[in-house]
Structures are given as C-alpha cells and as structure tokens.
Structure 1
C-alpha cells in the first residue's frame, strides 16, 4: 500500500481499476458483498492517499479533507440500500456534510471580487433551477428540502473552487475545478434518474464514473494546493 500511495501512476491505476470493476459489478448486482467492497474502496483509497500526504498539509485543511471523505464513504455505504427511504435520505444528508467539508477545505483567506463571481453564480443557480424544474413533480416534501440543500452545498463547492484561482498553484486550481464539473454531471444525472421520468442511457454507469472522477480530481487537486508536490516527478513523496 505504501508503494501505491507514493506513486501517482500506481495510485491512478489502482483507483481507476477499482472504479471500472465497481461499474461492472453495479451493472450485475446493485447490492452485493463485492459491490460494497468495490464502492467503498474508492473513498478508502483516497482517504489513505490523503493521510499519506498529511505532513504536507495544515492540520485544519487535513481535518476538513478527511472529514469530507469519511462522510462520502458513509454516504456511499448507505446509498447501496437506497430502496430503504430512511437510509436513502440519510445518505443524502452525509453527502451534504461531505460537500460542506469540501467548502471549508477549499476556502481561502484571499480577498475576492463579487463582480468576478456574478457569471459563475448565474451559471450555478440557473443549472440548479433547471434541474429542479425537471424533477419538481417527483419530489416529496422531505426530498425537496434535502435535494435543495444538496444542490446548494454543490453550488458552494463550485464557487469556493472558483475563488481559489489566485490563492493556489494553477495545477491545483484546474484539477479541483475539473473534479467539481464531474460532480455536476454526476449530481445532475442522479437527480434526473431518481426524481424524473427522463430516460438517460447508461445513467447508472455514468453516475458512478463521474462520481469517481470528481472525487479523484478534487482530492488530488487539494493535496497539491500551495505544495505542488503531488504531481511532480521529482517530488520525494509522490513520483
């Protein structure tokens, strides 16, 4: 395991192999012992990667990142039993917590201009309302509230990812933003397939692929942060 988290190539191969296996298993059986192992292994691998690089991160930042990954990990387990309504809503709650911890992790002390944020706020709010319009009839009172909180948290992650532009190195900014966009795809497809009658081809596979990509790039991006070690060949801890 030490060799895997130390090498960017080894870790990437292991992570995406697990993701591919999970997508295949998901299409065979939504809930099985093997599916529980493959799906939860994705977040656990990222958690191990984060812990390996903890010496390169501020304690506060590491706490937020680890807390986010743990929340997503718990949410992933609960979501496997989505047919139980209570567990489904509890999973959404943990996903919301995960996104909020990402917001805390992505926050910076650097001043920013509200004028620069306006087009991004418009984009995020417009997307949220379009999705809500498409799924409105399929929402009950409880799901309406939770889904609203979820998309609000997702919007916050997007905005704080944007605000990092001049506070971190370009590679970190671009990787996190790429992960956030993949998260948008995953969240949108999930909402449409869960609460609307819109038929999206290969939606189940697409959700998991985009979700895995989003977590991978967000975690790799925040680990680079001001320390550009994670994706540098000459880095002693990540080669």
Structure 2
C-alpha cells in the first residue's frame, strides 16, 4: 500500500508524464517538450530530497547523483538534432547515472542470491540486441557496448537486493530496472536499427516509470 504522500506524488508524476507524452508527440505542442521532459526528473529529485532525510548520507548522495546525471542526460538528448555530440554526452550522463545506481543496489546485495539464471537470460538478450545494432553504430560501437554492459550490471545488482531489503522495495526497484532496459532498448533500436511506430511515446513512458519505481523502491528500503 502507498502512503498518502506517495499517492499524491504518484498522481502529480503521472500528470507530468502524460503532459510530456503529449508534448513530445504532438507537433504543435513540441516547444513545451523542453519544459515537461526535465520536470519529470526535477519532480523526482525534489521528492527524493524531501523524503530521504533519514537515509544514510552516502546512499542519499549516490541516489541524488544518479538522478542528477539522468536529468543531465534528458536535457542533452533533447538537442541531438542540433549535433551528434549531444547523443554521446547524453550517453555518458546516463552511463554515470547507472554506475551510481549500481553502487546503491550493491550496497544492499544479498550474498545468498544466485543471479546465474538472470545473467544467462540477459546475456542472450544483449547479444541479440547488439547483433541488430552493430552494423549501424559506427564510431559509437565501443561506447554503446560499455553502456549495454553497465545497464545489464544495473539490473543484476537490482536483482541481488532480493530478501536483503523489504519485498516492496525489491519489487519496485527491480521493475524499474527492467523498464529502464526496455526503454533504452527501444531507443537504440529506433535510432540504430529501424524507425519504430510510436517510439517517442514508448521510450518516455517506460523511462519515466522506470525512474519513478526505482526512486519509490529505494525510499522503501530499510
């Protein structure tokens, strides 16, 4: 069950997400996209800052850094049509964000949890995705490979929290990690493989919910 505060923020966040989905896909409203997209992460950062005052300082800093670098990546990716360098910078920002998430998740890892099954599934998934993308990556081949590795490490580290934190915290964070992988996969396929229908909507919907579930879950860990 969500608390009253969580319910209120959930409504606010979903309204902001809906506004971004509309502004990001309707041409006449596209100028508002430069406001609605950053507001998603700004709202999460403010909510986390207010609700995390009892959290261990180091963990709080790492999560804040993950959210700030995510916000930076969001802003940079809004300008990829101006110059290809913005995509590279955005990729770096999200890479750093995932590193901080990994640090947070590993801090609460359960040494008794065996991730071998998940690793096998993710390995097949990563090779399949890379096979589809590799011919169109060009100079981004190495950066994309490292990015795939870090986001897979992020989802594995989220899985390792099982039975070490509360069930709600584990489920929310793991769902968020899966949604993050889905969002990045759609983005990569749309950019480097073939244009996908409704890609802007599916990318932002899964990304927004991913960040929301991760933050909500981390706030619920002991």
TM-score bracket for the superposition, by shorter chain length: over 0.9
1:30–1:222 Cα change, 3 Å: farther
Assess if the C-alpha contact under 8 Å between 2:109 and 2:162 holds in 1. no
Q: Determine which of 175, 197, 201 is the counterpart of 2:172.
A: 175
1:111–1:172 Cα change, 3 Å: closer
Structure 2 stretches lacking a partner, 5+ long = none
C-alpha deviations, 1:35-91, integer Å up to 9, x for none? Answer: 111000000111011100222210011000000000000100000011211111001
Distance 2:173 2:108 in 1: 18
Distance 1:190 1:95 in 2: 13
Assess if the C-alpha contact under 8 Å between 2:23 and 2:29 holds in 1. no
Assess if the C-alpha contact under 8 Å between 2:110 and 2:163 holds in 1. no
Distance 1:67 1:171 in 2: 23
Aligned to 1:231: none
Aligned to 1:35: 33
Aligned length: 219
Distance 1:215 1:201 in 2: 23
Assess if the C-alpha contact under 8 Å between 1:172 and 1:225 holds in 2. yes
Aligned to 2:60: 62
1:30–1:181 Cα change, 3 Å: farther
Return structure 1 stretches of 4+ with deviation > 3 angstroms: 29-33
Distance 1:31 1:24 in 2: 8
1:192–1:109 Cα change, 3 Å: closer
Deviates more, 1:25-34 or 1:184-193: 25-34
Q: Matched residue of 2:115: which SS? A: helix
Distance 2:148 2:109 in 1: 25
Assess if the C-alpha contact under 8 Å between 1:31 and 1:81 holds in 2. no
Cα displacement (A) at 1:110: 5.0
Cα displacement (A) at 1:200: 2.5
Cα RMSD of the aligned pairs, angstroms, is: 1.9
Distance 2:21 2:41 in 1: 15
Give matches, 1:1-239, under 5 Å: 7-29=5-27, 33-83=31-81, 84-108=83-107, 110=109, 112-113=111-112, 116-141=114-139, 143-197=140-194, 199-226=195-222
C-alpha deviations, 1:141-195, integer Å up to 9, x for none? Answer: 2x11111111111111111101101210000000001111111210110110010
Assess if the C-alpha contact under 8 Å between 2:77 and 2:86 holds in 1. yes
Distance 2:105 2:94 in 1: 16
1:125–1:210 Cα change, 3 Å: same
Provide TM-score, normalisation by structure 2: 0.93
